[in-house]
Structure 1
């Protein structure tokens, strides 16, 4: 990812958090169905995990570097 300013990172972070929350809700709905699609559930969970990793990377970019 190219170098982004902190406001752009914050906006992208907000977008990813919304998508992550939406996926969580979709996974819960799909899991509650009497007959659910295991492959679809697995794909959604994998996407959710990828989003979580992206969120963590972006959050770490917002933390200023400290000279030790």
Structure 2
């Protein structure tokens, strides 16, 4: 059970990373979107640290 949860979190983390890279590669990145994505990524990373 835990392994599938960890896998799901890692998958989410990777997806957010892709969204973040896409936003940063735009000519005028929306900094509020960047900030939101970074916060989501950090929350997932913190949750992963508990395993």
TM-score relative to the length of structure 2? 0.94
Q: Does 1:48 align with 2:35?
A: no
- Per the TM alignment, residue 30 of structure 1 is displaced from its structure 2 partner at its CA by 0.3
TM superposition shift of 1:11: 0.6
- Establish whether residue 22 from structure 1 lines up as the match of residue 15 from structure 2: yes
Q: Does 1:11 align with 2:4?
A: yes
Output the TM-score relative to the length of structure 1. 0.72
RMSD across aligned C-alpha pairs, in angstroms? Answer: 0.6
Instruction: Please give the secondary structure, in 2, of the residue aligned with 1:50.
Output: helix
Structure 1: 4+ residue segments shifted above 3 A? none
The CA deviation string for residues 5-43 of structure 1, in whole angstroms up to 9 with x for no partner, is: xxx111100000000011111100100000111001000
How many residues end up aligned between the 2 structures? 51
What residue in structure 2 maps to residue 38 of structure 1?
Answer: 31
